[in-house]
């Protein structure tokens, strides 16, 4: 009896253990299935039905999506929105980019920049916009579906600071020029394009314009546009055109490019987040792009233009609180993430990876920087300030001349003998 009783107990233990394993396994499979379902739903929200698919040499898939079916219209306030197909006003500037020659080589024709997916010669049909397809691996690189396509929320370091992301201890570092103290209705710059080296996949390097409004607290409004290299976001080291927006200091609103509802694209030729080609070379050919962001005084929407010919689209004014009126600060320049790998400063480069004093063909630049005034005119900014956390890592130097107007060189290599 004792032996049989022990056998029964052993059998019971085995059965209970088997049931436990089965339940745990079922729970794990259920969790995995739930996560896969959430991922697929998110991809379906981002990847709208397309009329045409174009394969890019860099592996991107460009979908030609009908303009009325783009991700912007997932926003509840845009359900019955009538697309504004052109701005009511366009700022007139001090400089015609198509006629501006190289500062150091006045007889050299300026180089043009396009996007890699154009190389096939295929175009999106009229009435559609090109959208970079989001792949499963793109989302899986993010910490979660919720954080994909968004900047990390950061605490506030100072109540008032030219630091665009408001915090020095976050590991984000900058080399920027800025203006404040007036009402600004937009900004423009021509930005030298490079392909900086990124040390860690979770780091990035970008060069952009910031159009900012608010108290520089939890309610910061920001519109951003330029170029970036971000392995985490795109899965490679290509230089890409990008935009970003937020109305609450990167907490819950906004995203890169078209990865959430908000920005309404009208252009059928340029894809947000797609690779820019070619890029500048050290002591070689120099390439740049112009970015213009301005407020339509009639409708109140904020518009973006890429180059001389491509009016990209607009951010509806209702997305913002302070920027529903005007901007209170404009910034131009570079930003990197310093994750301090191995306890040392990152070797991620900003701009060309060279310091400003090296000058044209070696250091990266912003030229013809301008602001938009209340009369919708582009004008030279006044009282330009500069800011960098560690000038031995990344620096900025401003200047002014007839061809380039207000300009600055910026950037650096990151880790070096003076930046550890």
**What residues act catalytically?**
224, 335
Contact 354, 411 (CB under 8 A): yes
Give phi and psi for 68, each to the nearest 5: -85, -5
Contact 188, 91 (CB under 8 A): yes
Could you tell me if residue 368 is left (phi over 0), alpha (psi between -120 and 50 degrees) or otherwise beta?
A: left
Could you tell me if residue 411 is left (phi over 0), alpha (psi between -120 and 50 degrees) or otherwise beta?
A: left
Strand pairing category for 288-295 and 186-192: antiparallel
Place of tokens 């006045």: 106
* Integer Cα distance of 366 and 23 in angstroms: 60
Element (H, E) at 18: helix 2-46
Contact 47, 134 (CB under 8 A): yes
């Amino acid at each position: 009896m004792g032996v049989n009783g022990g056998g029964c107990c052993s059998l019971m233990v085995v059965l209970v253990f088997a049931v436990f394993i089965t339940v745990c396994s079922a729970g794990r499979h259920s969790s995995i299935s739930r996560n896969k379902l959430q991922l697929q739903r998110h991809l379906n929200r981002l990847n709208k039905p397309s009329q045409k698919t174009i394969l890019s040499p860099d592996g991107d898939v460009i979908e030609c999506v009908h303009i009325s079916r783009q991700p912007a219209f997932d926003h509840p306030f845009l359900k019955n929105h009538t697309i504004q197909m052109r701005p009511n006003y366009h700022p007139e500037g001090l400089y015609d980019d198509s006629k501006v020659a190289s500062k150091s080589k006045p007889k050299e024709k300026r180089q043009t920049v396009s996007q890699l997916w154009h190389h096939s010669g295929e175009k999106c049909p009229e009435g559609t916009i090109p959208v970079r397809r989001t792949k499963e691996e793109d989302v899986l690189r993010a910490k979660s579906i919720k954080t994909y396509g968004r900047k990390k929320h950061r605490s506030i370091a100072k109540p008032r600071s030219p630091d665009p992301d408001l915090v020095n201890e976050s590991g984000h570092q900058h080399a920027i020029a800025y203006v404040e103290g007036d009402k600004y209705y937009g900004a423009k710059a021509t930005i030298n394009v490079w392909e900086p080296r990124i040390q860690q996949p979770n780091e990035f390097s970008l060069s952009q314009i910031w159009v900012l409004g608010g108290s520089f607290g939890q309610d910061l409004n920001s519109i951003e546009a330029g170029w970036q290299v971000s392995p985490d976001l795109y899965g490679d080291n290509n230089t890409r055109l990008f935009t970003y927006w937020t109305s609450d200091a990167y907490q819950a609103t906004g995203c890169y490019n078209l990865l959430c509802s908000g920005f309404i694209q009208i252009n059928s030729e340029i894809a947000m987040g797609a690779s820019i080609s070619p890029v500048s070379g050290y002591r070689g050919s120099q390439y740049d792009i112009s970015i213009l962001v301005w407020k339509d005084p009639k409708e109140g929407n904020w518009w973006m233009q890429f180059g001389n010919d491509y009016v990209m689209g607009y951010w509806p004014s209702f997305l913002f609180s302070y920027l529903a009126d005007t901007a209170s600060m404009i910034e131009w320049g570079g930003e990197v993430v310093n994750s301090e790998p191995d306890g040392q400063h990152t070797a991620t480069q900003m701009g060309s990876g060279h310091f400003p004093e090296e000058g044209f063909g070696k250091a990266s630049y912003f030229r013809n920087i301008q602001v938009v005034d209340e009369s919708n005119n582009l004008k030279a900014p006044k009282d330009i300030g500069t800011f960098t956390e560690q000038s031995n890592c990344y620096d900025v130097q401003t200047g002014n001349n007839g061809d380039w107007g207000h300009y600055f060189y910026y950037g650096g290599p990151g880790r070096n003998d003076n930046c550890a």
